[in-house]
Amino acid sequence: MIRIFAVEGQTIACRVELRQDASRGRSLVFLHGSSGDHTIWARQYGPLRGLYNIAVPDFPGHGASAGEVPEDIGGHIPWLKGLFGNLLFEKPVLVGHSMGAAVALAFALRHGEKLGGIVLVGGGAKMPVNPMILTGLKTDPAAIVAMIPRFAVARKNRERIGSVLAGRLSVFRTDALYRNLAACSRFDVTAEAGDIRVPSLIVCGAEDKMTPPALSQDLEKRIPGARLELIENAGHFAMMEEPEAFNGILRAFVDALV
């Protein structure tokens, strides 16, 4: 069900799925990426419903959440911390995709004591965005919006998943998309990533062109004890493109946590 939370002056819409015995078992909080909303995780919260307590928020200015898109990644920390206080999940695992992975990294660095672990999907300690994309969003946004879905997924998934992404982008404000991507491009925790002390899983599509596997490989080296899993036949949206493989990897990691 969708619940509305008032946190830090923001109105946050969040899909919440609780186990029958919500006081037991692991909890997962999923964070979407730029221009997304909670539904990009539908292939996870559907099959995993009943196994874990699950929360999937829409970021400010995304989906059903009100407010403006934060100017930088750190701007997401206050509302996310407030959401944790409302959910009352005990040390949830934070699962972030793309921009959501950057938010998960930033949150783990500031509030690692609140987490049971992090899963970083299509992310990196740095996430540089091609300057042509940022410039194009100012000068010819329609061309960039048309290009991103083809570029973001593996070739075999372009018709099946690319069309879904194209539909999302067509209704998302291009100024908000620019703000998101600019925030990602400025993001850099290369110096701090070694300070993360929570169990960490890194997942990347083997054909990811937006955040190539090299970024995930670099992140694996920087975070103590981190493990990297590459998913074949997947691009930047591995959890949508190959959900069964992704869910198996996620479950194995979460269920192994002490």
* pLDDT tens profile 86-125: 998 999 999 999 999 999 999 999 999 999 999 999 999 9
The string of pLDDT tens digits covering residues 32-82 is 999 999 999 999 999 999 999 999 999 999 999 999 999 999 999 999 999
Lowest mean pLDDT among 19-33, 56-70, 131-145: 19-33
DSSP string, the chain: -EEEEEETTEEEEEEEE--TTTTSS-EEEEE--TT--GGGGHHHHTTTBTTBEEEEEPPTTSTT--SPPPSSGGGGHHHHHHHHHHH--SSPEEEEETHHHHHHHHHHHHHGGG-SEEEEES--SB-PPPHHHHHHHHH-HHHHHHHHHHHHS-GGGIIIIIHHHHHHHHTS-HHHHHHHHHHHHH-B-TTTGGG--S-EEEEEETT-SSS-HHHHHHHHHHSTT-EEEEETT--TTHHHHSHHHHHHHHHHHHHH--
**224 pLDDT above the threshold of 90:** yes
Mean pLDDT of 201-208: 98
Q: What is the pLDDT of residue 48?
A: 96
Interior/surface letters 178-187, b for 16+ CB within 10 angstroms, e for the rest: bbbbebbbeb
Contact at 8 Å (CB) between 16 and 87?
yes
Q: What is the pLDDT of residue 210?
A: 95
24 pLDDT band, cuts 50/70/90, is confident
Q: What is the pLDDT of residue 19?
A: 86
Q: Cα 24 to the chain's mean position, in Å? A: 25
Tokens 């972030």: give the residue: 96
22 pLDDT band, cuts 50/70/90, is low
State percent of the chain over pLDDT 90.
Answer: 87
**134 pLDDT above the threshold of 70:** yes
The pLDDT mean for the chain works out to 95
| Nearest CA-CA partner of 33 in 127, 113, 161, 111 | 127
**Type of residue found at 247:** N
Mean pLDDT of 168-190: 94
**23 pLDDT above the threshold of 70:** no
Report d(CA 153, CA 28) in Å as an integer: 25
25 pLDDT band, cuts 50/70/90, is confident
Domains present along the chain, CATH in parentheses: 2-126+189-256 (3.40.50.1820)
